[in-house]
Structures are given as structure tokens and as C-alpha cells.
Structure 1
Amino acid sequence: MISIAETDPPLPGLSLGASLLRGAPRSYAILFFSANARLGWWLMAVSMLAPDYGISGLAGVLTAGALAWWLGYDHAQIRSGFLLFNPLLVCLTVAYLNRCYHFATPTFLLLWAASVIGAFFVSAALQRWAGLLLGLSAHSLPAVAAAYVLYFLGFSLFGPPSLPDSSTPVWLDLPGLPPFLQAMFQAFGAMLFQPHVVPGMMVFLGLALTSPLSTLAASLSFTVGAATMWQLGFHLGPEGVTWCGFNFLLCGIALGSGYFIASAASLALAMSGAFLCSLTSVALATALRYFNLPASALPYNLVVLAMVTALRARRSAGALLPSPSPGSLPESAVQQVLIDAQRFPDLKTPALFSPVGALCTVTQSFDDTLTHRGLWRYALDFEVEKEGRKCRSDGSSLVDYFIFGVPVLAPCSGVVANIVNHVTDNAPGGNNPEENWGNYIVIYSDAGYYVMLAHLQQHSATVFVGQRVSRGFVLGTCGNSGRSPFPHLHLQIQDTALAGSASRPFCLKHYLAPGGNGMFFRTSGVPAAGTRVQSGTPHPTLSETLHGWLPGEYRYRISEEEGRVREETLLLDFDDFGRYRWRSRRTHARLIGFISEGVFFTTEFQGDHRSLLAYFAAGLARVPSVLEPSVVWEDSVNATPFFAGPERLIRALTTPFIGLKMLRYKYQRQDENEGSFTLRATLEPGRECAQAPRNITTLLTGRRGVTRLEARLVNDRTLIAELLEHQTVGG
């Protein structure tokens, strides 16, 4: 019951009927913190086991959707089901009260219509209020509030409600089942107003097939909540737990796998929430009994909103990592966080480009032995070496040093915040501790931090305070001013624009370092002292090829050993962020690709090895557009899609607790004729799994993207994919 982003492609011209066809099932799935339409259809079918409930709820969803459309609400909120799930719950409540009071048909229709309209507006208002004030969803509080109004209205018009009529067959509650399991499955069914074992088992099955982690979190939380109720003197069975048990399930899903990445810590939080929820349920039931009201879902709403709001005041995430995309499958969210941690370890660290265009040597790094200590521990010093020497002849003159006079480039875009330009350069071996930083320039970067470049040559600054500079702009030249016995360039990120401010951790990004028989490309890192680094030269043709991949349909012929041939059509378009988005028409697999500062990445693969997109994800994981030949780079790829059957399910359940298996590949590029490029990926030894490719060779061609892919699998099978046809559409 959190705000869930639409997962379908943008469809601005979609009709009301088509929007409701997408939004109606998701309004059911949102009850379980999911955007999965298949789960929604399943839950809708389960609700129809009691036709009066099912029809009332579905009609409420469709009517609320039509009302939102007519009033001009965002159609994406209709398609996502976010505006519809509270009216669904209220209409289920009306059906429940109808069984209690046996309304005349006109009375029922009047109450039902009022419930749809009232629930819609209360939901829209409370969702907006909670979003603006707390940055959270209002969950099902609007439905609880509307339900209480209905209870009061029914009491004032018809007196106290009687127990609802039930002609449910006895077998729906499976009397032979242990009482605890009866109570748990009835709690699952109660979320659709069907507190019986068989409907509950169907709900449990649908959730388990969709998200095993959500099912695990819900089951553990129910166990803790039920055990607490038992300690309070309630029977550990349907009569003692079912009336409030669905609150425990919702707490488990929300805290264990909804708002936070599923982990041992999130499960502990979920069980703590269930413990508090059981106590809150008893307290609220006692208080509300005087008003003839049930506790309903109020305990879960209060506990979850309180805990999540409190946890948002933390200074750091600690062991409880927020979900990157609430509403996505917990399994996908866990994998994405763990994958990003391995692929992009410096993702949240300020990153700078090298301030020297030429190949240079880092002579001091973080926490080094000379001057990078204490407040200034996070800094890098650069010098230029040629054939192991820093200077010509004996180095008695500043111009003998290769770094002296070399242009200093802006390592980021921003605004010049401070400049000192008058300090005289020291003679080699000299020093000026009174003007420690010498000539320097401080830039306030667009990312919100201050970057200082120090020991510049006297009167070499080409900028002024307040001037805007772009990354790579020439700021001045390297010198030997300040506390600097020999020419070098000092780089650090600091707290303020004043010289001497405390430094802060950062990293270099997109740099080349010599290694083996060529240059090794690093997306980010902190080079150690003695490391030689160089900024890569942009490769215009490769960049054009990666940027020019046209949207449309791409039909591939896939040949495997033993003469097996199949076809797969991939649909390519762009998402709202301008990223490439591939979808397989055959397997429904999905893949995202994007370009950031000259590097192409693939990410967020959903599917398994049966789709060609799994090999796109591995073969094109990272492609830097650098001109230098013999460039080598590495990346990690999620191994989960290459497992099959039970092993994949087991890994999905255990990943949050034992970690994610990754495949480590080394990549090389070969430039072909006419703007084509061959990329070769080789799996690092010791990282194999059964269906994973050991080698992938991918041919990239301008505007058509991947025209040929050959993969040699760990089990020695070979897969070859060739582009047969592509039909492009306007971007």
C-alpha cells in the first residue's frame, strides 16, 4: 500500500477501458505491496469465491477509476492501481455490512455509491497529505476511516450489527488442519474479506509464487504476532487470532520486504512490528468496543507509519537499506542493491575526473606518509613521469619538471568560488609554509561540494570568482607555489571554499591505468601512490553507435547445438528517464540500458537465460567510449538468471542472507570497419555456474545495435544469435 510507479511503457493515448484493464488487477496486488498484475488477477479471482464481495469490490474499483478519469487525475495513477485500492477495500466493507444488516437493494446501492465516491476523495486527500507531510503513502487509513463512517451510519440507522450470515461449507476451513495453520490461512483470506482456510491458502499460494520473500516475511511476522497473542491469553487458533492476524501479515510485508530491502535486519524489524501490532490490536479493540467498532487494519497502519517515519530520521541507513523502488518485487530490489554495491562501489561517493589530461603519476594518495594526514588526509598529488623520471637533466630549474606548466583541467562542472593567484613559485627544493596552499582555485561543483586544486603556477589562473566552468575547462597551469618543494598538483574535496578546510572522501572516475599489455579502464576508484593514471580520449564513432540505437522491433534467429533454432523478437523503446528499455516478446524478459558520461551500462535485467537479453546484460554490461586501443575493463554480472529450477528459487530466498553470486567478466574491444565494433567478454575462472556464458562475442553496428552475438557456455554449449530484421519507429 505504498506509492508504486507504473511499470508499463508510457501510454499517453490509452483509453479508459485499457487503463482500467491494467489498473484493476494492480489495485488488488497493492494490498500485498506488489505491482504484479498476475498476482492481482489471481487475487481478483479468489475474491469471486464469495460473489457478493467480489462483485462489490470489482465494481468499486472500476467506478473509482472512471471517476478519476473523468475528474482529470493522472492516468498513470489509474493504471498503477494506486487510486483504486482504498475504494476496493471500502466496497468490500459495504458487502460485509450488507451481510450483517440485509439492506434493501436501494439502500445497499445508495450506500455503495456513497462509499465509492467518499472513499475516492478521502483516499486522494489523505494520500496527498501523507505524501506532502511525511513523504509516505497513507496506506489503507482512508479505507479504515471510510469504513468507520459506514459502521456509525449503520448503527444510527439500523442498530447494532448482527454477525454476518455465512453459508460457507465446512470444508472451506479444513477442520483437520492444526489450529495455528488454520488461523494463519484465515488471516490471509481475511485480507480479501474471506476469513476461511481455502481462500487463504489460495492467497498464500499466489503470493508465494510471486514473491517468496514477501511470503516469508508475512509468515514470520504472523508467527510472532500470534505467539504474543497467546502469551496475552488468547487461543492460538482461529477464534483467538484471525480477527487481527491480517495486521501481522501486513506488518511483515511492509517492514520486511516493502519499505526496506529484505534482510535479516528487515525481518527482525518486521517481527518487532508484529509484536507491537498485536499489543496495539488488543488495546484498540478494547477502546473501540465502546463504539461498537472493530480494530480493522488500524493497528497495522499506525505501527507501520510510526516505525517508517521514525526510521527516516536516521543519519545513515545502517543494516536497514531502503528499497530503491517500493512496489517492485523484493527479490528484484534485493538483487539490484547487491548488484549496484558490487558494480558501483563508489556510487554515493563524490567523484572527480583527473585534473591532468596527460599520463601522470599519483605520488601521494589518501592517508599517505608525507602531508596527507589529519584534516587533509583525503587528497591526491599528481606529477608527470617519463621513463621513470620526473624531470629533465638535474632538475635544478622548474622548467625541467615535466608537470610544470601542464594545463590544469576542471575535474567537474561548477562555479569558481575562490582564487589565489599571486604567490611566487618556489625554486626546486624550496618551500613556503606561510602560504601553505600557494596559488589555488576552489570550485563549487554542481553536485554540492567544494573542490580545491592547489600549488598552481603564479598568475596562471584563467578564471575569476563567480565564473561557471565545465568539466575539462583549462583553469591554469601546474606550478610549485606554497608548501611544495617540487612541482606537483594537489586535489581534494573540502567542506568550504576557504583554503585549509577539512577534506572529505572522494574518488576519481573514468580513468585509464596502464596494466598488462594495454590500458585498464576504471569507472571509479582511489588510485594508490605510484599508480599512473590518464583520462580517456572520447571515441566519437563508438559514442555515436551507442547513442544511435534506434527504437523499434529487432527479430533475431538463435541457433544452438544439435540443430535447435528459434526466434526471439526484442522491443526497444525509451523510458521516462531517456534510458533504453528492451522487452522480449517471447519470454517477457526486460533490460535497461543507459549512457552516463561516455560509458554505456546495462542494468535491471528481469528474466532468465532463456532470453537473449540475458546475454545482452552480460556482454554489454559496461562499454566505455574511449579511443585508446587495447583498453581492458571488468564488470560483475548477476548469476541468478543463469540458474534454473529449484536452485534459482532457493537462491532468491537466501540471497538477502548469504549474499549474491556474481559472474566477473573481463572485456576487450576491437574496432571493425564502417563503424562496427566487436566486444569480447571472458568469464573469470572460478566464477562459473551451469548456464552461464564463459565467453561472449558481440558485434555492435551503428543504428542497429547488436547484429550478432556468440556465447560459449560453461557447459560447452554454443549459442549464436543473428539479427534477421529490424523495424524502427520514431524516437
Structure 2
Amino acid sequence: MPDRLLSLVRSLSDSYSEILFLQRAWPGALMLAATFTVPSVGTAGLVSVAAAHAFASFIGMGAAFLETGFFTYNALLTGLGIGSLFQITPLSLLLAATAGVMSLNLSLILNSLFRQFLQLPILSLPFVIISMVVYLASLGYSNLLVREDAGLLAAWTPQALPTVIDGFLRALGAILFLPYPLTGLIFALVLLLYSRILFLLAVLGYLVGTGLVALMQGAPDSAYLDPNNFNFILIAMALGGVFLVPSRRSLAIAAVGVMLAALLMSAVKLFWALYGLPAFTLPFNLVTLSLLYVLILVGYPMVADRIGATPEDTLDDHLNRRHRFPLEPKRVVLPFSGEWSVWQGFDGRWTHQGLQTHALDFLMLRNDSSFRGDGLALTDYHAWHKPVLSPVRGRVAMVHDGVPDNAPGKLNERDNWGNWVSIDTGAGWHVIIAHFAQDSLQVKAGDWVEPGTRLGLCGNSGYSPQPHIHLHVQAGAMPGEATLPFLVQDYRKSGGRFVPAAVPAEGDRVAPLHPDDHLLTATALVLDSRWRLENQVGETRELHVRMNAAGETCLDSGKAQLFFHRDTGQFYFYRLEGHDPLLAALFRYLPRLPLSHQPGLWWKDVLPMAVHENRASRHLLNLARLLAPDLGRIDYQARFVGRREIEGETSDRQGARETFHILLAEGQGLLQRIESNGQVLQMRPLQPTHGDTDTDITAPRETPS
């Protein structure tokens, strides 16, 4: 029962937080308390959201519903609106409860429709619709008593407050039907403490909107004190920092949205006045939803595909993925063993043009030459009859064999692709490998292949002047369609650098990498296992390997969660939620680990803002990155110096450098020790608790279908 009550209280607080796009309980708790500066507003809002919760539990929405305030913040807004109009009586509370249930039902319906057909959030549209219904219906309810008092604290107004500041605070308070400077000040402090970007957007939205209206009307005081100005604030926050990745462009789009709302709000107020209705948040909903839909329709790249707890988190996550994880989902491994050279790359100067732009040709060089002797015979070529391997997992869709190999320097213009294999990945695209040696294919249509399965031998069939391997990706099975972009993953390029995923450039010498058993063992973090993390001053954390509802795995310290993943070629951390200096240090010194050990193999990375040790500087940098995204960037470089040893350094744009040394675990446990500038971090296993201790959740879980 205590846990259920705690979940209910947290969910109620989340309902208040959602109104200002906040995702933690403490801002909601402060906002809840602030609503009781006008008792009728606070009481009606609480009754409405409580009724929505009770109805949700009654119809069996269950515990999952209680984990969020997403479906009840519209019910809360409806109740707050009723409390702002009527005195607290049994009838007004009954009206608030009924309206709360109506808002919940409409929220569920619209959320399903909007997500499925429009890919849009519902915002406060259910509140607008239900509030209009309640407002019109109440005109005939003579037993409802209109509220007259404003509340002692809520009505307090400093005498010397400039009009523009007074208007901003009133507009901020009006979001929760409390258009008073004191409540607005409370909400402003909540925004400032929670997210500096949201606070800045609120100020900019208000200034742009009221400034435009003041210019149009010629009456600044009237424009600044309009109670509907909260629409400008909500639009700026939604477009500038919530649904779009915060950036200079997002600020510009938010400003455009606010200017559109200024025009729309003037029209809505005049039209709705004919029916005696206020504008509510209709301008905010119409402008935000219409602009979001257009941006999604045109494929605008800064629409946030993962909304963080704050705009700062959304921005950091976006930059983290942009620097560390290329977005292209079509990936292959190199179709050979040993080191080969990229003879012709994407948009190559010979045949990789037009529809065939996205293709790679590989040949084998020795002493910078592709052949020995005079190169007049096919057997002179280093690539001749070398094994060609499958670059993907999938099923062989088609094969073509029997085309003779050309003499060096000759071309077969009739059978352009020569002998080839087409592999269906099952993901809507095929991989084409071409120019095999005649009668060398070792697979047939219908065969299942894994990365590394031998397909045949390198030859010189088709439009090919010398033995080489051609590789490209396309939608269909028959070669000749338009090629599609793709990435090559997990390879070593010239100079010994590990490349997680990229398009090799023309002239690059590349070799595939294969996982080593001891690195696979070290990175096999078992579900429900526990580890102790300790620094040089004896500060410790007990880390618990957990899986969240989305199937993501993390090291949970109780203070924060460090999310990780292991694919076929690397182990990496990718997100830190919460605040824990020890987990941040682990992320900082080992953000990525290749699963293949080769002496001298080195790699680069870019660290997210979450690893910054100073929280105050991190807050300032996050705000500044709105205009300069690379500000505060930390570059990372590391290399193997032994079977279990890694050395490296981090550096920022101001020239500060930090070196480190890592000793990896001999068995499971990732690492044994990290040392850096007098800091020490050690990790060791604890006795595992009950649970699925035999499940390695870092191992790939794909199976042939």
C-alpha cells in the first residue's frame, strides 16, 4: 500500500509537471502547492485529476498508467479552469470530477489517433475541447457560484514592477489559471532551476509575441498584460526546446510560431467572443501542431526522435548520436579477410555515378601494386581467387554464374555484373556482390548466410578490367536498380584506426576485425549481476545490471543509470541518466571498446556533456550550445598497449588534456582499474542475487527468420 500511494503521489505531481513540459516529480509538487494560493483553483484541479486516476484504475489501466502524468494533465487543466471560474461547492467539485473523466477519455482517444495517423502529440487539445463544452454548459447552471476572490497571496503585486516583467509573470502564472505575479514568479524559478533553456525560451516567446502585438496595436501596456500571452510562452518552449532539438534554427522556428500565434490569437479572441468563450490554449495547439506536422512531412532533421528529460538532455543526446553513431541503418561488414584497398568509392570517378553512386570496389595491393610481374595474366593479380565472404546476415535471393573471366584490361560490356550474388537481408534491402570468378560460387538461391560465410572466389567477370570485388546495396534482388547509401562497420583502416561505422574513402586500406574471446568475456555483463565501483577516496557504488521497459540495459547505481550496448564489433556506453560522478567517470574513460585486440589498434570518440565533472559549468555550456553546438566538446582517443591494457587521453577545445590508463578485467567485469591524474577507479564483482544470472544481455539477440 505505501508503494501504491507513493506511485499515486508521484503520478499526480507528474501531471502538474507535464503542463510545462517537465518530466520530474519535484517541479510538479511545487506547482501543485502554488495552485493552492487560490484554494478554489488548487482544489478543483486536484479533484479533477484524482477523478481521472480513479476512473483509470476502475477500468483497469493499472500500474503502468500510474507511472506517468501524461494522460491526466489535460484533466488537471480542465479542473484548474473550473476552479478559476466557480467557488468550491459540492456541485462545482462534481463538475470538476466529471470534466476530469471526460478529459481522460478524450486524451486516450486523441492520443491513439494522433500517434497512429499524424505522428503528433495531443498537447492540451483535449483540455481545449472539454473546457469549451464545460464553459458553454455552465451558462445554464444557475446553482454554480461564480468565484469572486482572487486569494490573498495570489493577488499580491509589487508596486514598482515594470510592466513587461509584471506581464511575463502573469502570463506564466496564467498557464495554470493563476495570472498573478507571485505564482508566475514561482513557476519562473521552477523553470530556471529545471532547465535554463526552457526559461530562456519562455522569456523569448513572451517578448517576441507581445512585442509584435504592441507594434500592431500601438498600445504596449495592453499587449504586455493580455492574459492570453501564455500561448506565446508555450509555443516557444514546445518548438524551441521540446519537440525540436534546441538550436539556432529551432529558435528561429519558435519565433515564427510565436508570430503566427499573435495573428491567430487576435482572430480567435474576436471570433470566440461571439459565443462568450475565452481562447484557452487553442492558438498554442493549432500553431504548434501545424508547424510540427509540416516539419515532419518535409523530413526536417531537427525534429527530436528522442525527447529527453530536459531540452539540455535532448540536445546532448542529439549531438552525442551525431558525433558517435551515424544514423544510416543499412550496414555491412567487409566481404573479405586481410587488408584490401578501396579502388573506387561512393561517387567514384569511373562507374559509380548516377544510379550507381553508392557502391564500393575493392582490390588487393602489395607494395602499392595490384599485381606482380607484368600483370598480363589473371594469376598475377593479388586479388585473383581470394575468398569472397558474405557481408551480411540473410538469405541468398539470386545468383548468376558461368560468365567467363576477362583477360586483364578487357571488359565484358554485355554481362555488366559478371557473376554475382544477391542477398536479402530481410530488412527491405539487398546486398549485391559482383565480378566473381567463373564457376566459383559456393551458394545457391535459398541458402542462409551469416557474415563471413564463403560465397565464392574473386574474379574478373563482367565490366571489370582487373580482379576486384564490387559491393553495393539496393532495394530489389536483381542488380541494376538504384543503389542506396550504406555503412561498413567494424574495420581497421590505414594507420591502425578502429572504425565502428563509416563509408571507406577511395584509397583507404581496410581490413575486417573479428571479436576476441577475452574481450567478449570481459564485456559480457550479465542481467541482474552486481558490481562494486570504488574510487581512490573510498567512495563506492553498488552497480546493478538492469533492463528497462524499452529493452535497454544499464548499470544502475541507485543515483543514475549508465546505458550500454554490445554489438558484433564493439561495446559502448551511450547515455547517462541522473547524476553520479563515479558512473560519469566510467563513461568518460571507457566510452567505447573495440572487441578485437590488435597491438596498436586505436580509436576516437566524442564524449557527451554528461561526463563533465563540474555541474555549474555543464549548465552554462548546455545553454551556450544553443548557439555554438561544439562548445564544451571533449575529444577522446585511446589505443591498446597490451592484451588488457589501454592508454589514452581526453582533450577539450580550450586545450586542456587528461591522460589515463585502463586495465581491463581478466574475466567478466569490463575493467579492473582506471588511473588518471591521481584518480583511481576500480570495479569488481559482487555475489549475484537471484534472477536470470545466466542471461548475457549484451550478446546479439537476432535469430534467422
TM-score by length of 2: 0.91
The answer to whether the 8 Å contact 1:594/1:602 transfers is yes
Q: Is residue 15 of structure 2 the alignment partner of residue 27 of structure 1? A: yes
Matching residue's letter, 2:49: V
Superposition deviation, residue 725 in structure 1: 6.6
Aligned to 2:667: 702
1:3-23 alpha-carbon deviations (Å, 9 max, x no partner) = xxxxxxxxxx99542321331
Superposition deviation, residue 235 in structure 1: 4.2
Out of 286, 292, 312, the position equivalent to 1:331 is: 312
Aligned to 1:130: 114
Matching residue's letter, 1:111: L
Q: Is residue 493 of structure 2 the alignment partner of residue 522 of structure 1? A: no
Superposition deviation, residue 565 in structure 1: 4.3
Q: Is residue 237 of structure 2 the alignment partner of residue 253 of structure 1? A: yes
Q: Is residue 378 of structure 2 the alignment partner of residue 410 of structure 1? A: no
Out of 458, 461, 465, the position equivalent to 2:441 is: 461
Superposition deviation, residue 203 in structure 1: 0.2
1:105-125 alpha-carbon deviations (Å, 9 max, x no partner) = 332232233222222222222
Aligned to 1:295: 279
The answer to whether the 8 Å contact 2:317/2:575 transfers is yes
Out of 69, 74, 95, the position equivalent to 1:111 is: 95
Superposition deviation, residue 590 in structure 1: 3.3
Measure, in 1, the Cα distance between the counterparts of 2:35 and 2:222. 20
Out of 721, 725, 730, the position equivalent to 2:681 is: 721
Aligned to 1:236: 220
Measure, in 1, the Cα distance between the counterparts of 2:649 and 2:376. 49
Aligned to 1:383: 363
User: How do 1:421-500 and structure 2 match up within 5 A?
Assistant: 421-494=401-474, 496-500=476-480
Superposition deviation, residue 367 in structure 1: 3.5
1:357-412 alpha-carbon deviations (Å, 9 max, x no partner) = 22222222233444334443432221223454534554443334332222211212
Change (3 A) 1:683 1:57: same
Change (3 A) 1:34 1:238: farther
Superposition deviation, residue 698 in structure 1: 4.5
Helix, strand or coil for the counterpart of 1:547? Answer: coil
Q: Is residue 185 of structure 2 the alignment partner of residue 225 of structure 1? A: no
User: How do 1:189-228 and structure 2 match up within 5 A?
Assistant: 189-228=173-212
18-27 vs 246-255, which deviates more?
Answer: 18-27
Measure, in 2, the Cα distance between the counterparts of 1:78 and 1:283. 39
Change (3 A) 1:169 1:456: closer
Measure, in 2, the Cα distance between the counterparts of 1:240 and 1:378. 56
Superposition deviation, residue 43 in structure 1: 1.5
Out of 146, 152, 164, the position equivalent to 1:168 is: 152
1:63-94 alpha-carbon deviations (Å, 9 max, x no partner) = 32232123122633331211211111111122
Q: Is residue 264 of structure 2 the alignment partner of residue 280 of structure 1? A: yes
Change (3 A) 1:24 1:686: closer
CA RMSD of aligned residues (A): 2.7
Superposition deviation, residue 456 in structure 1: 0.7
Change (3 A) 1:351 1:196: same
The answer to whether the 8 Å contact 1:229/1:241 transfers is no
Out of 544, 553, 576, the position equivalent to 1:605 is: 576
Change (3 A) 1:598 1:212: same
User: How do 1:519-598 and structure 2 match up within 5 A?
Assistant: 519-559=496-536, 564-585=537-558, 588-598=559-569
Superposition deviation, residue 135 in structure 1: 1.8
Aligned to 1:625: 595
Q: Is residue 27 of structure 2 the alignment partner of residue 39 of structure 1? A: yes
Measure, in 1, the Cα distance between the counterparts of 2:268 and 2:505. 60
Measure, in 1, the Cα distance between the counterparts of 2:308 and 2:494. 44
Superposition deviation, residue 622 in structure 1: 1.0
Out of 81, 89, 103, the position equivalent to 2:69 is: 81
1:476-515 alpha-carbon deviations (Å, 9 max, x no partner) = 2111111222211111224543433333333321111242
Measure, in 2, the Cα distance between the counterparts of 1:66 and 1:703. 48
The answer to whether the 8 Å contact 1:536/1:628 transfers is no
Matching residue's letter, 1:621: P
Measure, in 2, the Cα distance between the counterparts of 1:339 and 1:170. 43
Change (3 A) 1:159 1:69: closer
Change (3 A) 1:121 1:360: same
Helix, strand or coil for the counterpart of 1:333? Answer: helix
Superposition deviation, residue 695 in structure 1: 1.8
Change (3 A) 1:18 1:627: same
Change (3 A) 1:481 1:81: same
Helix, strand or coil for the counterpart of 1:49? Answer: coil
Aligned to 2:635: 664
1:197-254 alpha-carbon deviations (Å, 9 max, x no partner) = 0110110111111111111112111111112222342743478643201111111111
Measure, in 1, the Cα distance between the counterparts of 2:292 and 2:454. 48
Measure, in 2, the Cα distance between the counterparts of 1:281 and 1:470. 60
Measure, in 2, the Cα distance between the counterparts of 1:693 and 1:58. 52
502-511 vs 237-246, which deviates more?
Answer: 237-246
Change (3 A) 1:556 1:461: closer
Q: How many residue pairs are counted as aligned between the two chains?
A: 690
Superposition deviation, residue 259 in structure 1: 0.8
Superposition deviation, residue 416 in structure 1: 3.1
Measure, in 2, the Cα distance between the counterparts of 1:530 and 1:342. 24
Measure, in 1, the Cα distance between the counterparts of 2:531 and 2:39. 45
Helix, strand or coil for the counterpart of 1:152? Answer: helix
* Dislocated runs of 4+, deviation >6 Å: none
Helix, strand or coil for the counterpart of 1:307? Answer: helix
Superposition deviation, residue 327 in structure 1: 5.3
Measure, in 2, the Cα distance between the counterparts of 1:371 and 1:145. 60
Superposition deviation, residue 461 in structure 1: 2.1
User: How do 1:638-649 and structure 2 match up within 5 A?
Assistant: 638=608, 641-642=611-612, 644=614, 646-649=616-619
Among the aligned pairs, what percent are the same residue?
29
Aligned to 1:307: 291
444-453 vs 201-210, which deviates more?
Answer: 444-453
Matching residue's letter, 1:619: Y
Structure 2: stretches of 5+ with no match in the other structure: 693-705
Aligned to 1:148: 132
Aligned to 2:697: none
Helix, strand or coil for the counterpart of 1:504? Answer: coil
Helix, strand or coil for the counterpart of 1:269? Answer: helix
The answer to whether the 8 Å contact 1:452/1:493 transfers is yes
Q: Is residue 646 of structure 2 the alignment partner of residue 679 of structure 1? A: yes
The answer to whether the 8 Å contact 2:527/2:547 transfers is no
Structure 1: stretches of 5+ with no match in the other structure: 1-12, 713-717
Change (3 A) 1:42 1:376: same
Helix, strand or coil for the counterpart of 1:697? Answer: strand
Measure, in 2, the Cα distance between the counterparts of 1:546 and 1:26. 37
The answer to whether the 8 Å contact 1:636/1:663 transfers is yes
Aligned to 1:3: none
Change (3 A) 1:374 1:597: same
